[in-house]
Structure 1
């Protein structure tokens, strides 16, 4: 049997372009695996997408298993999940990759990130309801209530941004919407400062911000 290095050299001589393409596929597959893991998905999901994305022809599950050295069970489970996310599309027994990256990102935002923001909004509202029912003469309660209201405002602004991004609203509409939301978001109270002082500071800053926003967005 010929040494491994000899076989590799023979392959390079016979199909140099194929070797270059395979190396590119491996590199993209590895990078996509790292990105997927960073986003909270499995590395295998990213690796499979990277390989299929870089393939000039649809791939079957057997080819994917062989190229990535993964088990049949892992390939089947992962590729099914990728189909559900819209990352892969199936053509009979073959798979092709979604190439619209904006569509991929918005799918994640719509199905996962938006749900987390809604969870945060729900939790903030529950905390606010509890604090509003407590003794408002207690400075600690008032402080905690202001902090919770500030957090709720931030979450709601985040939801507005996600909704605008997912729906691909015009940039001008996004900026106007965020500017209006941000102008209503009062600063979180600081220990040792009364809420009345913060309200006075915010009212002054809000008036200046409204004028700046009008000048920048409505020339």
Structure 2
């Protein structure tokens, strides 16, 4: 869907890095939900990226209804068992979708695999406490996409006040917030200086007062919100 599998695959091959040192994630797009379609999507992605395996494949969103969602999961489990993917997970699933999948996995006994990763838009203006707690209670890795809220909150006074305290930018404060919530933030930038800045977040720690100030109580997605849009 992002049309970058081929470019990413070639970049890995041309980098000179050992494949095991790069973590390559792709997704099952909304149009490929269901067992057979997901199987084809996995094979297509492997060919496109010129890879023998992916480190992680996520179901992009809970499209297609229950049967399609569970069929897609079963296809991911088969791909994992055959070595085509190391870890599997979901993105944009609401708690009711997670409950549905957990029940399905339980019904399969030992053959239903497990949810390794849950990926969501997460930042102080969309902390999804209920979903994050559901995942973390089960030791599922929580990945935060758009941890900078697409740059829409960089003017917020609270970010500037906290940033001034530590000599850090608003973006660094937001990324640090996600780390301290136990998330894996996935900031995006095409600017070299900002990519470097986004990684310089391990030399300070927000205190309890800072974390409390960043508990905004808002529920403000910057894009879509499939967690509540689909049954």
**Could you state the TM-score of these two structures normalised by the residue count of structure 2?**
0.23
> Which structure carries more helix by proportion?
1
> Which structure carries more strand by proportion?
2
Structure ranking higher on relative contact order (CA contacts 8 Å, 6+ apart): 2
Q: Which has the larger radius of gyration?
A: 1
**Could you state the TM-score of these two structures normalised by the residue count of structure 1?**
0.24
